[in-house]
Chains A and B, each alone.
Chain A
Amino acid sequence: MKKIINDPNQVVTEMLDGVVAAYPDQIKRIPDTTVVTKKDAPVQNKVGIVSGGGSGHEPAHAGYIGKGMLDAAVAGEVFTSPTPDQVFEAIKAVDGGSGVLLVIKNYSGDVMNFEMAAEMAEAEGIDVAQVIVKDDVAIEERDGRRGVAGTIFVHKIAGAKAEAGASLEEVKAAAEKVIANVRSMGVALTPCIMPASGKPGFELDDDEMEIGIGIHGEPGTERKPLGSADDIAAELMDHILADMELAESDDVAVMVNGMGATPEMELQLVNRKVQAILQEKGINTHKTFVGEYMTSLEMAGCSVTLLKLDADMKELLDSPTTAPAF
């Protein structure tokens, strides 16, 4: 294993130091925590948005802190949910009197830790609402679906809604609307290696790929010989489109997300095919995002996300944000 690290046990805290040092005018860290917030948090009379999860998905989640997006991000150990006390610190730090929305990805650890934090906050009289993102169509049963790159669209649209002065209930409804309309699926060509163990999370032969992989290397739907960019894009799109109700002239946002070790050149090849498929179906791409948004350490591979948009969602997606990673 080759990694640019100092001490495997200090990776998360040193990474957060780096993030804060990169954007000192926008982001600050709450001392002795793994919580980073907007520099001007809490914003009075604005709903605060808190997200987070295990580390190893950079730029998620700290990179999405900014005006019009997240107010705080809570970082856990690599691929491990942050603990309730840390999430609670984030909630307290961003509550400007209008309540706080927690954006949680659907993993049992994340859900439990964030829920416990929500209980702690409610006990202190802070209004907290939560949404659980489950966009990964690799899992058939809807409630068991993992939260993956579609989470970024939840951050963006909920964040924009909060910035516009909406109530906690309205911000939550906007986030739920994204969750109902967003679908993703990924593929891996190589595994990722945990800094603490130095071992790959799973094995994959040189000529193999795993379709439907999760962002922590969770097993997908099928393991098979590596296909071309067009084949991979078509297969991911098949699964995604089969799970969405999209009609001709509907609008979508597209995200082609790199898992960490796939060059943008290859992501653009995937995007090319994704757009061709949409065009063929008469579906209108309102906006496209190609790059690394929700990575999985040094995994090679990508995910494709489609978000069906209505007029409200388009406006919220298009509104400005200062978040460095968006």
Chain B
Amino acid sequence: MKFTADLAIDWMTKANQKIQDNKDYLSSLDQAIGDGDHGINMARGFDAVMNKLGNNDYEQVADVWKESAMTLMSKVGGASGPLFGTALLKMSMAVKGEAEVDDKTFVEALEDALAGIKQRGKAEEGEKTMIDVWAPVVEKMNEAQTVEAGVLRDTAESAMEATKDIVATKGRAAYLKERSKGHLDPGSVSSYYLFAALAETLEGEG
């Protein structure tokens, strides 16, 4: 794979589309186990990302991701802003200076993103957070050392669905303890949209 700035923009565009289309669904998931604003916050953030990306030219993947990261951090708020922002910022740092990102570097970038999310959120796998989607995806990509669209989408989807059975120990859902079981984690669903969008971008290219 040769991941370029154009593809990075395409990824964000497709991610934005999914977030906007599912804004109310994401908020309703959050209403069940959080404070009900996840869809609104993510939609506001990605809308701002699209505005930013549409008004500037980018030569490097790193620049697209950095701009997206900074915009999400300043526009989303809540816990999602710092977490999705940190993920993209770490990815941008991992690919800095490269006009085209190959599979190996892309996987490294995803690994850095996961480490960043864990550190910022002081959370680990199994706490019913977005890490429960990011960790299996990164693991799968790392094993294969390629970023393959089908595997990416399937892994993210099944990991997202598996958050239903987890009892939350981090974030607002943790206040519900056992009652958090049976509900999807909203941040994991957003993360799934992000990876599903990436899969579509890669397929469009393939």
Contact = CB atoms under 8 A, between A and B. Distances in A.
Contact of A83 (B81, B171, B175): B81
Interface string B26-41: 0100010001110011
A109 B174 contact: no
A108 B74 contact: no
Contacts of B44: 77
A81 B81 CA distance: 9
B104 interface: no
Given A77-B41, A112-B121, A194-B37, A199 B31 contact: yes
Contact of A82 (B31, B77, B120, B170): B77
A109 B79 contact: yes
B78 interface: yes
Contact of B120 (A107, A112, A146, A214): A112
Given A79-B35, A197-B27, A201-B36, A218 B172 contact: yes
A85 interface: yes
Interface in B6-46: 27, 31, 35-37, 40-41, 44
A5 interface: no
Given A214-B175, A219-B176, A194 B79 contact: no
B82 A112 contact: yes
A112 B79 contact: yes
A271 interface: no
A76 B78 CA distance: 8
B64 interface: no
A219 B35 contact: no
B174 A107 contact: no
A82 B120 CA distance: 16
A108 B31 contact: no
B73 interface: yes
Interface residues of A, number: 31
Query: Which of B40, B74, B82, B83 has the most chain A CB atoms inside 10 A of its CB?
Result: B82
B170 A113 contact: no
A173 B36 CA distance: 35
B10 to A, nearest CB: 26
A139 B176 CA distance: 10
Interface residues of B, number: 28
B87 interface: no
Nearest to B39: A197
Contact of B79 (A81, A216, A218): A81
A196 B120 CA distance: 28
Contact of B35 (A139, A144, A201): A201
A196 B40 CA distance: 8
A218 B120 contact: no
A84 B35 contact: no
B75 A197 contact: no
B76 interface: yes
Nearest to A86: B74
Interface string A130-172: 0000000001000010100000000000000000000000000
B76 to A, nearest CB: 7
Contacts of B2: none
B179 interface: yes
A83 B174 contact: no
A85 B36 contact: no
Contacts of B81: 81, 83, 109, 113
Query: Which of A54, A109, A197, A201 has the most chain B CB atoms inside 10 A of its CB?
Result: A109
Contact of B31 (A77, A107, A201): A201
Nearest to A201: B36
B179 A219 contact: yes
B77 A113 contact: yes
30 contacts: A76-B78, A77-B37, A77-B41, A78-B37, A79-B35, A80-B37, A80-B78, A81-B77, A81-B78, A81-B81, A82-B77, A83-B73, A83-B81, A84-B74, A85-B74, A107-B172, A109-B77, A109-B79, A113-B81, A116-B82, A144-B175, A194-B36, A196-B37, A197-B40, A201-B31, A214-B175, A217-B35, A218-B172, A218-B175, A219-B179
The 5 closest A-B pairs by CB, nearest first: A109-B79, A112-B82, A109-B78, A80-B77, A85-B74
Interface of B: 27, 31, 35-37, 40-41, 44, 73-83, 120-121, 170-172, 174-176, 179
Given A77-B44, A197-B37, A218-B175, 19 more contacts: A54-B77, A76-B77, A79-B35, A81-B77, A81-B78, A81-B81, A82-B77, A107-B172, A108-B172, A109-B78, A109-B81, A112-B82, A112-B121, A113-B82, A116-B82, A197-B27, A197-B36, A199-B31, A219-B179
